[in-house]
Amino acid sequence: MTSVRLQVVQADITTLAVDAIVNAANSSLLGGGGVDGAIHRAAGPGLLEECKGLGGCPTGQAKVTGGHRLPARFVIHAVGPVWRGGQQGEDELLTSCYRESLRLAEAHHCQSVAFPAISTGIYGFPQDRAAGIAFAACRGWLATHDLPRTITLVAFDARALLILQSALEKDS
Ligand code: AR6
């Protein structure tokens, strides 16, 4: 039964006491605005110091650091695609972000992981399309893997929550 392993909440992801939170990073991994800025502010300067040693990350891939001052033990920094109209491999790259993040979560024995809506802010990916991709990628993973046990998709505001809830209903 995968349904209880996948949930939607409205929250500031930096407050969640899960094993790993995912960051919607850019390929420098050196911080930015949106959820990336919020995570770096909440984690403190040690996170940037650790990120400096990672050598960046290509789009569609992810790298892991400690959580520093966050309640989460790990931060998985995933680099989503910039939306360029949908014909530049954006869907596949976004799917890859989720799968690579889950692969890292599993490798670090994470029981619980929380994702923001990667690429749907500054990178301009349409929110409903991104929600469908997120659910498909997470369900596909959960069907064949025991870890992480639970995945939380985090909506930052009420509109994002409605979009994720309607994608969850369509998908289940
Ligand atoms: N908790 C949960 N979700 C959040 C939070 C938060 N504290 N803050 C924002 N969101 P974005 P992107 C939501 O723009 O589109 C950065 O500069 C937000 O409402 O953070 O992947 C990076 O360095 C939206 O739904 O990420 C990159 O340069 C979602 O998180 C670039 O932005 C993603 O929005 C990445 O752009």
1 domain-assigned: no
Q: What is the span of the domain harbouring residue 77?
A: 6-171
Give the CATH number of the domain where residue 164 resides.
Answer: 3.40.220.10
Task: Give the pLDDT confidence score for residue 2 in this predicted structure.
Answer: 46
**What letter would DSSP give residue 81?**
P
76 domain-assigned: yes
Segment 17-51, tens digit of pLDDT: 999 999 999 999 999 999 999 999 999 999 999 99
Task: Give the pLDDT confidence score for residue 172 in this predicted structure.
Answer: 65
Number of domains in the chain: 1
Phi first, then psi, for residue 79 (nearest 5°) are -105, 105
Active-site choice (12, 19, 36, 157): 36
Contact (CB, 8 A) for 117 and 134: yes
Residue of the nearest CA to atom 33 in ligand 1?
121
**Distance from Cα 121 to the centre of ligand 1, integer Å:** 5
72 domain-assigned: yes
Tell me what the pLDDT averaged over the chain comes to: 96
36 a catalytic residue: yes
**Its pTM surpasses 0.85:** yes
